[in-house]
Amino acid sequence: MQRTKLEPLTHKYIKKWMAKLKLTEFKYTVEFASLKGDYALVSTDEETRHITIEFDPRAFKTEEEVEQTIVHELLHARINDYVELVEEIIRTHITNPKT
């Protein structure tokens, strides 16, 4: 898919699914690069509450693929948030067994 067509779709679906997944407290950045086989990659900075998603425009053929990929990547961001919480709970219980 051409980047000129992909870019507006990414923003449309990221906004839609960030709201549905309760990620509205995060800011996001979209980047485009050749990812050698991956549709997209996501990274999350929990401290700054920022999500970066890199897309490979050549990987996409349909709008449906774009939306499905965005949902998949945003779920990674949401789950990463929960992993951080669980790790903090575990650290608390290891250092203070009475909690």
Domain with 42 in it: 3-95
pLDDT tens across 47-86, in order? 899 999 999 999 999 999 999 999 999 999 989 878 888 8
Please spell the DSSP secondary structure of 16-62, one letter per residue: HHHHHTT-TTSEEEEEE---TT-SEEEEEETTTTEEEEEE-GGG--S
CATH code, domain with 41: 3.30.2010
pLDDT tens across 15-49, in order? 999 999 999 999 999 999 999 889 999 999 888 99
Q: Are 34 and 58 in contact (CB under 8 A)?
A: yes
- The structural domain count of the chain equals 1
